[in-house]
Chain A
Amino acid sequence: MTEHKDKPQGTFSRVISKKKSDFRLRLQKVPIVPGPLFRLEEIREALLDRVAEKTRDGFSEFDLETLLGEALYAERLRLKAQKTNLFTSFRYKKDQKLWNQVHQGLLRPGGEVDLQDLLKSVIQHFAEEIGGHFHPKVYEFATHAVPWGFSWLLNAASVKRFLPWGMTESLQSRLHILGEVSTLQKLSKKGTILLVPTHQSNIDSVLVGYVIYLLSLPPFSYGAGLNLFSNPVLSFLMSRLGSYRVDRQKNNDIYRATLKNYSTQILREGMHSIFFPGGGRSRSGAIESRVKLGLLGTALEAQIEGIRTQQPCPNVYIIPMVTSYHFVLEASSLIESHLSDVGKHKYIGIRDESWQITQIFGFFWKLFSSQSGILIRIGKPMDVFGNPVDEEGRSMGPNDTVIDVSRWLTTRGKLTHEPQRDREYTRELGVRLVDRFHRENTVLTSHWVAFVLFEVLRKKYPDFDLFRFLRLSLPQRSLPLSDFLIAAERSHQKLIQLASEGRLFLSEELSFSTEKWVRDGVKQLGLLHDIAVVKISEDAIWTEDMNLLYYYRNRLSGYGLSLDEGKRNLMMMGQYDSQGFLA
């Protein structure tokens, strides 16, 4: 690596011990770290009441008839399109009942109906649906089960399983957790953590939870899609692990405000949270170039409320986390979706295989049996404005200044929530988060092989736009291996330059000889997919799937590596070049 791996901290070093017996030991003595989420059941009712009150206050200036009417219209459409099953019909009926009441209420003459009451019942309905629970026993079970599953799978799948005792495979060799590990651990005791990971695969959710466990952090709350709760097992577990329900189908202001207020209130209560700021998995394969500001902004609101109500630890810390996979389980369907979106073609749906248990099992089996690994980098922490935060939890400004957060939140002499100001602060936080994601990205050999091959092929067809280029025939997408190696060697220098400027990290394998890292990258890319992304022979290199090659190549977009030196100055992350390629 260009950076030394952080030494595992505390219990972490025990958890990832190499000895088989230690795994057994751990199963008996899991160090459950208590945290504010353990209080959730105790304060749940009061918390939901506060959420409802804040949400109502937010609509005090609104025309309630219009507000409720719009919500009713949107909800009717949603319910009409919704398919129910045995486990979701109960919720569906509750929704129907509520909106029938609202409908009837709105039909009555103005004087006969209390719109405030109607709004209150809608907000309470949403708050109750969103609000999570936390049961320590279930948490204890889950924290046993997931690592046990991982350990079992690792040792069963590992090619080293036939080695003598004491030389068995360790999770440490597969999950590399780098970066600001110790700072994260320290800050979790000084304030509230909002962990914001990049999102490539549904595997991320399992992985992030596992990383939290490995780092001996207390449990985190997180927003989980309502669709996941339709699976009874997942629903049972998640609804008791502090997760709150997020229904992306609910497209109305009342719901959005309730959700945001819930997020604000749990952060205000000091409950660490996880939130994927990209809003969903990256379709293109690129690192997030835009983030959703709505939920991100709740960190700032929680900070203001925390200071105003004189909480002992009012600070909210934003911790970016970037995961690098050699292969992504859902790559084919994601890139298909991205291409149909940007190409405006009629989308031909591909079954999203990501949540089939057999697929997940297959993913980890291949991961563990192939000597492949996943790299997770905990990024530099930031405050709610995007300023860097030191280990002591202080916000650092330019020229070694220490920022007094409350002064930044003071307008005309008053510490207050100013919607326009706070939106702007959050927008800037989003910009800085995107920059941080790119800087914390660790480039793996597979990403770089895909990038170089794609770009060398592009040079052969400089006039082709993206969609024409993706339709190259097999002979067209082959190169003499020697040509590829020369290009790989030359472009490698650009990558080293970026790493030396602190704009990204390189994996250890990229410091090997060109031929060695190329072969490693080709091998890693070929592990998961049925169709080889990149194939290599004695004298040639080619791709059998242009879409997948583009997907893995896009991991290096956003750095302007594909552009001429001059044009790079004007490039912004997430931009497309004149021929429709992600720049």
Chain B
Amino acid sequence: MTHRDFWHNSKIGVMGAGSWGLVLAHLASHNCREVRVWLRSEEQARSINATRAHPRAMAGLQLSEKVRAYSSMERFFEGGLDAVVWALPSSACREQAQAVAHRLTGEELIIHATKGVEPGTLRRISEVLGDELPTRRLGIISGPNLASEIAKGEPAATVIASSFSEVCDAGEVLFSSDRFRIYRETDVIGVEWAGVLKNILAIGVGALDALGFGWNSRAMLITLGLSEMLRFGVAMGGLQSTFLSLAGVGDLMATCSPLSRNYTVGLRVARGEPLETVLAELGHVAEGVKTTQSVWEFALENGIEMPMTRGVYRLLSGEASVPEIVHDLMTR
């Protein structure tokens, strides 16, 4: 049996029914036998199964019959899964991993879709999952993937990174379509950090746009921000080339757009709205907010120069306004 045959006949589980989790379930449903989605709320699970949709998470997305939602963890894992797609927020990662550890056999492959790090410890999601789950075959899916555009079927591409080529094989078969292209990568560290750090920069770009500056300022911030991402990522063990790929500069460009949650947070906070209000109204998780503090503290302690991250940190903590931060950046 070729790996394509195997994965076309496989059972996949998606943990988390946020917008990206649902879109991944939708993509996989075209390429495998069965897709299960786990979410906490029994009521929402019932609603997804009845209506084949979850408008609160992803408006307009119509799920296929192959997708079934479960709120019971036992039923979700019943009979075993061939692959698990981990699409939960970073803050819930460790706790949830501890809860499901004893349900895994070690045979299933894990692909996570969380662009965040554990607050405080700065452990990457694949490290947290490795700490808590009895499996080694882990990978990450990351790239310029605004869920709503992919749900509409607009052409896009992503990166699957894993040190195990069978994980990349699985990702390639499960998620690819004539509108969605997969690129393989082995630099897990680089891809994960690129996905984390661009969120911080997206907040910064949103904040800058709030002041109504033109393209020059934007280009300056993004370019200098990219070199900042690269500096940090390489210090953490990532490869420079990864930051110049789809998972790095590609993701950064897509995230610095009004469709991004992190961009929206930056924009609204810079306009004077309290951070708590913005986050409450957003309805989705903006990973960059939690990440900024941890990354900035680590950079400070380890002597990694990150002026943009510092600026975003000062904005979110209410230490300084955007004009003050811009002034500091231009005169440092």
The interface of chain A, by Cβ under 8 A from chain B, is: 385, 397-401, 403-404, 407-408, 410-413, 418, 420-421, 424-425, 427-428, 565-567, 569-570
Contact = CB atoms under 8 A, between A and B. Distances in A.
A420 B165 contact: yes
Nearest to B100: A399
Contacts of A421: 137, 164-166
A124 B187 CA distance: 41
B3 interface: yes
A403 B104 CA distance: 10
Given A420-B166, A570-B302, 17 more contacts: A385-B136, A397-B106, A397-B133, A397-B134, A399-B102, A401-B101, A403-B106, A404-B105, A410-B107, A412-B6, A412-B166, A420-B164, A428-B136, A565-B301, A567-B302, A567-B303, A569-B302
B20 to A, nearest CB: 26
Interface in B205-262: 235-236
B41 interface: no
A551 to B, nearest CB: 29
A129 B132 CA distance: 46
Q: Lowest 10 CB-CB distances: which A-B pairs, in order?
A: A397-B134, A399-B101, A407-B107, A401-B134, A412-B6, A407-B106, A566-B301, A408-B106, A420-B165, A407-B105
Contacts of B104: 401
Interface in B66-102: 98, 101-102
Interface string B28-70: 0000000000000000000000000000000000000000000
B3 A412 contact: yes
A566 B299 CA distance: 9
Contacts of B302: 566-567, 569-570
Nearest to B80: A407
Given A424-B163, A569-B302, A398 B132 contact: yes
Most buried by B among A400, A401, A413, A418: A401
Contacts of A413: 1, 6
Nearest to B301: A566
Given A398-B101, A570-B302, A404 B106 contact: yes
A545 to B, nearest CB: 35
B303 A403 contact: no
Nearest to B6: A412
Contacts of A412: 1, 3, 6, 166
The interface size bin for chain B is 20 to 34
Contacts of B149: none
Interface in B115-153: 131-137
Contacts of A399: 98, 101-102, 132, 134
A399 B105 CA distance: 13
Contacts of B137: 421
30 contacts: A385-B136, A397-B134, A398-B101, A398-B131, A398-B134, A399-B98, A399-B101, A399-B132, A399-B134, A401-B101, A401-B102, A403-B106, A407-B105, A408-B106, A412-B1, A413-B6, A418-B166, A420-B165, A420-B166, A421-B165, A421-B166, A424-B136, A424-B164, A565-B301, A566-B302, A567-B303, A569-B301, A570-B235, A570-B236, A570-B302
Contact of A397 (B6, B101, B303): B101
Nearest to B298: A569
A424 B135 CA distance: 13
A428 B137 CA distance: 11
Contacts of B106: 397, 403-404, 407-408
Contacts of A418: 166
A397 B302 CA distance: 32
A63 B3 CA distance: 27
Contacts of B135: 408
Given A398-B132, A403-B134, A411 B301 contact: no
B136 A398 contact: no
Nearest to B108: A407
Contacts of B1: 412-413
A425 B135 CA distance: 11
Contacts of B163: 424, 427
A570 B136 CA distance: 23
A421 B98 CA distance: 25
Contacts of B166: 411-412, 418, 420-421
Contacts of B105: 404, 407
A239 B102 CA distance: 48
Contact of A425 (B98, B134, B136, B298): B136
Contacts of A411: 166
Contacts of B165: 420-421
A23 to B, nearest CB: 48
A533 to B, nearest CB: 34
A84 B220 CA distance: 69
A574 to B, nearest CB: 14
A451 to B, nearest CB: 24
A427 B163 CA distance: 10
B303 A566 contact: yes
A357 B303 CA distance: 53
A408 B137 CA distance: 9
A564 to B, nearest CB: 9
Contacts of B101: 397-399, 401
Nearest to B102: A401
Nearest to A408: B106
A404 B166 CA distance: 19
Interface in B257-313: 298, 301-303
Contacts of A565: 301
Contacts of A420: 164-166
A566 B297 CA distance: 11
B306 to A, nearest CB: 14
A256 B30 CA distance: 45
B132 to A, nearest CB: 5
A566 B303 CA distance: 8
Contacts of A404: 105-106
Contacts of A397: 101, 106, 133-134
A408 B106 CA distance: 5
Interface string B196-210: 000000000000000
Most buried by B among A399, A412, A418: A412
Contacts of A569: 298, 301-302
A399 B132 CA distance: 6
B40 to A, nearest CB: 20
Contacts of B6: 412-413
Nearest to B302: A566
A404 B106 CA distance: 7
Contacts of A428: 136
Contacts of A408: 106-107, 135-136
Contacts of B134: 397-399, 401, 403
A355 B15 CA distance: 61
Nearest to A402: B134
A399 B131 CA distance: 9
A385 B164 CA distance: 14
A400 B301 CA distance: 35
A398 B133 contact: yes
Contacts of B3: 412
